[in-house]
Amino acid sequence: MKDFENLLSQIGEIHLQMQSYASNSVNQALTVRNWIIGFYIVEFELEGKDRAVYGEGLIDQIVKRISSIKGLDRRSLFRFRTFYLYYPQVGYFLKEKANPFLPVIQQIEGLEKVGTLSPQLNSSQIVGTLSPQFQSDLLFPGGKLLSKLSYSHLELLLPITDQMKRTFYEIEAIKGTWSVRELKRNINSLLFERSGLASDPGKMNKVSQGNLPAVPTDIIKNIYAFDFLNLNGQEIIEESDLEQALINNLQDFILELGHGFCFEARQKRILIGENYYFIDLVFYHRVLKCHVLVELKIGSFDHGDLGQLNTYVNFFKQEISESSDNPPIGILLVAEKDNALVKYATGGMDPNLFIQQYLINLPTKEKFQNYLIRELSKLS
């Protein structure tokens, strides 16, 4: 049974050992180091010989004694503890014989306890493994998680207590190769809530398995947030203003649209009969193998706008799409929409036509949640 001095020694040793691996695998070594420190802290809290002496002040005492190790402050140690508790799959990966950290891991005392029920916990708690609040099918494989996401990415996910929500952002960050800044923006803009998964948890089964979108509805969000434009309503006078702003921020716009969108054209000119028409934005979705036509409207939804988009979709279906392509999708982005009008306007129309709302300025989380509740009540 380790005592407090032994705990301090182990933290110092794992820091030095993992530091030697940093030249070859900085991010993974740092992430593993942080997880193991979290493991040590939790194990000491449960089974440390003199744990009662330190109680809730344990981490504060650790910080005082390891002040020479840069980066291991009070906040970090609390985060490492949470990291260990939320990511048991890291421990499962470290137990595998093929993992690159095996020489160090074999020296860790007590790692074999990861995944077992501690007798000092009540029956509803399992340390370092799945407790009732965890779902095994929503755990992203530990090895892939370590190789694809840095600890800076994972640290942004630690405040998220909802496992489904965390897994969603893990998968999307890996698929979209998001930077830390991009992940932070998508969390702050409530991408999970806007994706529809929050209101329909059943959809998460597809996401958790890493399945790619299979039908048009898989790529459509409830709401699109264009807060990255840093504009206010007065600056959007015409559709062309919004269009230009989106083109100027094309990378952020594509990230907001989602995985698989490839930009093709702006103001795509098509000839129907003897007249030319212009489609605001044209994308190709490389997973669904179809064109996606986007029309922008700065005001409220009007049924006449849908007729125009339907014409464009039919034209692409007949004249532009290749024989190997799937039917095109049309998305009408509007500032406001009346769900009742949308319901009747789309009745009998092509099922690949979507009228979705966009927001220039993202409201506070509380206002956004209230908005989603109101919108869901309209659909129930």
In this prediction, residue 156 carries a pLDDT of 96
- How many domains does the chain divide into? 2
Answer whether residue 165 is part of any domain: no
Q: Which domain holds residue 322?
A: 212-379
Is 216 found in the same domain as 87? no
How far apart are alpha carbons 132 and 215 in whole angstroms? 33
Residue type for position 219: I
In a domain, 320, yes or no: yes
Query: For position 354, which CATH number holds?
Result: 3.40.1350.10
List strand residue ranges (DSSP E) for 212-334, in order. Answer: 223-225, 261-272, 275-285, 290-296, 329-334
The model's pLDDT over 7-31, given as tens digits with 9 standing for 90+, comes to 888 888 888 777 655 544 678 888 9
Q: Is 298 a member of any domain?
A: yes
- My answer on whether 340 and 245 are in the same domain is yes
pLDDT confidence tier of residue 219, bands split at 50, 70 and 90: confident
Among candidate residues 75, 97, 130, the one where a domain is terminated:
130
Separation of CA 219 from chain center: 14
Domain boundary among 130, 163, 187: 130
- pLDDT above 60 for 245: yes
> Residue type for 282, please?
V
Note whether residue 143 is domain-resident.
Answer: no
Calpha distance 68→236 (Å, rounded): 54
Domain boundary among 96, 130, 164: 130
Q: What is the DSSP letter of 270?
A: E
**Whether residue 258 is found in the same domain as residue 374:** yes
Let me know if residue 57 belongs to a domain.
yes
Task: Tell me if 151 sits within 8 A of 30, measured CB to CB.
Answer: yes
Classify residue 160: in a domain, yes or no. Answer: no
- Convert 148-178 to b/e letters by CB count within 10 Å (16 or more is b): bbebebbbbbbebeebbbbbbbbbbbbebeb
State residue 201's pLDDT score.
62
Mean pLDDT for the stretch of residues 271-278: 94
Can you read off the two tokens belonging to residue 120? 């000092």
pLDDT digits (tens, 9 = 90+) for 131-175: 445 566 678 888 888 888 999 999 999 999 888 889 889 988 888
